[in-house]
Amino acid sequence: MAAIASATVRLWHIFLLIGLCAALYFPYLASTPFFDKGEPREAMAVQDIMNRGEWLVPLKRATDVPSKPPLFHWSAAAVSTLAGQMNEATIRFPSALYATLGVLLVYFLGGKLFGADTALLGAAILATTLVYGDQALSARVDMTLCFYVTLSLGLFYAIYRGFLRSGVWLYVFYGLVGISTLAKGPLGILLPALVCASLVLLERRWDWLGKFCVHPGVLLMLILGAGWYVIAVSRGGEGFFSRQIVSENLARFAGGSGHSHPVYYYVSYLFSLGMPWAVFFPLLFWDYGKRRWFADGDKLFLGLWFVVIFLFFSISAGKRPVYLLPIYPALALLLAVWLRQMAGAGTIRRWLLRLIALNAVLVGAALLLITLGALWNHDAAWFFEPIGKLLRAKDRANFFVVRDSLADFGNLFTLVALASAALWLGLGQALWRYRLRAAAVLLIVNSILFGFVAHRIVVPAIAETKSYKPFMAQVNQRVQSKPLYLFGEFNSDPVLFYRGQTIPMLRASVAEIAPTLGQGQRYLIMTESAWKEMQKATPALPAPLFTSSGTGPEGDARLVLTAAR
């Protein structure tokens, strides 16, 4: 009976976690068009698979092998094929799916190590961590890498601890590590290898060094990991090798490759990306160090998972905040264990928690004030006016776009703000009384509301100011199959994606192009600034057919469509 009850509890937990991920990720897959630099770049490789049927080595712009391996692109193309269409939702779907599977992996690993209740909390913490939720909705390769690193490390530790005893599991482990190189390159091997080696060395399990290093599965890993690269190099030649191996990996680690930052760069991002749970990180780190919790093997493994990967990326010259994503599954479980095992509170810890509680109360009071003001003024975004006056002109435009979007939601936003205010006030009370588990539940629920506001209101409003999707819909309707060209320098990836095919670049000077504009059977897409430059040279230049409302990924490239002879 106990086993049946335990199985029922685990099944219930799995349903809860799937429901949580379903609420956090999947409703928002199609809520925003592509508007940044990263998503259209990856989407073009998916589009190439769909257009040319070239799965093995998909291309960008039908000529260049992309800078990232194709595992994410294959996943998105498979989803698009099954759905019978390709759009933002089908291309983002793999990230949301990998994120959900990653949450379940953390639950299964945590259940083995610390029990079902702690595992449930850890998985929910991961699902609601800011950077994790953000990448679950991004058509980029980072969530794919995070999932395979989590799966590889979880499988390694299950073998290491003896949970999985059959010899076949080592082959599965090496196969997964080999496949994970197709997510984001050699990191798929390097990150798990560093963590596993650190654990074996610290615990002085010398027998495992030989067991892992000379196992036949190493050959399987190398075949799976290097096989695709050999094929890609044979097709892409020296250019592919230089870009993907040298620039994207070696040069980025050693020299930064455009993303150079100091060694302490990630300290602040560790906390900002880990919100809302980062409020507990200082106490978590203090207690784990002071109480020597890492003397416990399971916590040691999770601690190494976090520390080794964090240090690796800190040492690397090239840094981007999203690189830290693979550390958060381990941090989520460590925090869950800490929250459930903290029985007493010392004086310093209690006052620190009460300081956090006061901040939570201030946030709740501000939201309550906003709600009451909205009810009084019949304007859900009334509070934006005084804040907007303090911003720079460049930021003020996006700020008021968000304001107008919030106003459109009217009473719904007011209800969300009221519910969030109640949750923040409740969080403050729970922290003041040192009820950490209750505080965790309140943070999880608040994260669902935050996700609604961010992904249904704020991000779509910002995307509306930058995306070229509406402009390209007009272009496609007007141009249809007639000749279309690009002119000038701007980020054309989203233009090409929404066109659905490659667009040739017109190589000519402004002086050569300007006289040809007007009536004709050809069409040109260029930046508004380039068109104005032509207008100066040719004052009688006809007005553009269309002008984009979106300003592009950098916010500085409004586009126009013109006819030409």
Pairing, β 517-527 against β 484-486: parallel
pLDDT tens digits for 527-544? 998 888 888 877 778 888
Look at residue 139 and tell me whether its pLDDT is greater than 90.
yes
Q: What is the pLDDT of residue 1?
A: 46
Over residues 392-396, mean pLDDT: 54
Q: Residues near 445 by Cβ (< 8 Å), separated by ≥ 6?
A: 423
CB atoms within 10 A of CB 458: 17
Look at the alpha carbons of 533, 539, 545, 548 in this order and tell me if their dihedral is positive or negative. Answer: positive
CB half-sphere exposure, 458, CA atoms < 13 A: 8
Give the tokens for residue 276: 């809302």
Whether the CB-CB separation of 212 and 204 falls below 8 Å is answered with no
The rounded distance, in Å, linking the Cα atoms of 437 and 435 is 6
Whether the CB-CB separation of 126 and 132 falls below 8 Å is answered with yes
Q: Residues near 207 by Cβ (< 8 Å), separated by ≥ 6?
A: none
Cis peptide before 276 (omega within 30 of 0): yes
Give the tokens for residue 268: 């602040």
Give me the chain's average pLDDT, please: 84
Selected residue with higher pLDDT from 474 and 374: 474
Measure CA 153 to chain center: 20
Over residues 408-416, mean pLDDT: 68
Q: Residues near 167 by Cβ (< 8 Å), separated by ≥ 6?
A: none
pLDDT tens digits for 281-315? 988 888 887 766 566 788 999 999 999 999 999 99
Measure CA 110 to chain center: 23
The rounded distance, in Å, linking the Cα atoms of 320 and 267 is 12
| pLDDT-derived band at 559, boundaries 50, 70, 90 | very high
Q: Which three-class secondary structure state does DSSP give residue 522?
A: strand
Look at residue 379 and tell me whether its pLDDT is greater than 60.
no
- The reported pTM is 0.90
Write down the H helix ranges in 25-70: 38-52
pLDDT tens digits for 488-521? 888 888 999 999 888 888 887 777 777 778 777 8
Selected residue with higher pLDDT from 345 and 526: 526
The rounded distance, in Å, linking the Cα atoms of 100 and 256 is 32
The rounded distance, in Å, linking the Cα atoms of 175 and 187 is 15
Whether the CB-CB separation of 555 and 464 falls below 8 Å is answered with no
pLDDT tens digits for 28-61? 999 999 988 889 989 998 998 998 888 887 877 6
pLDDT tens digits for 438-459? 888 898 998 998 888 888 888 8
Selected residue with higher pLDDT from 510 and 159: 159
The rounded distance, in Å, linking the Cα atoms of 281 and 333 is 12
Whether the CB-CB separation of 122 and 332 falls below 8 Å is answered with yes
Measure CA 476 to chain center: 30
The rounded distance, in Å, linking the Cα atoms of 429 and 426 is 5
The rounded distance, in Å, linking the Cα atoms of 472 and 134 is 26
pLDDT tens digits for 58-81? 877 666 677 778 899 999 999 999
Q: Looking at the DSSP assignment, which residues form a beta bridge with residue 546?
A: 561
Least reliable range by pLDDT among 255-264, 377-386, 502-511, 516-525: 377-386
Selected residue with higher pLDDT from 3 and 91: 91
Residue where the block lists tokens 């729970």: 430
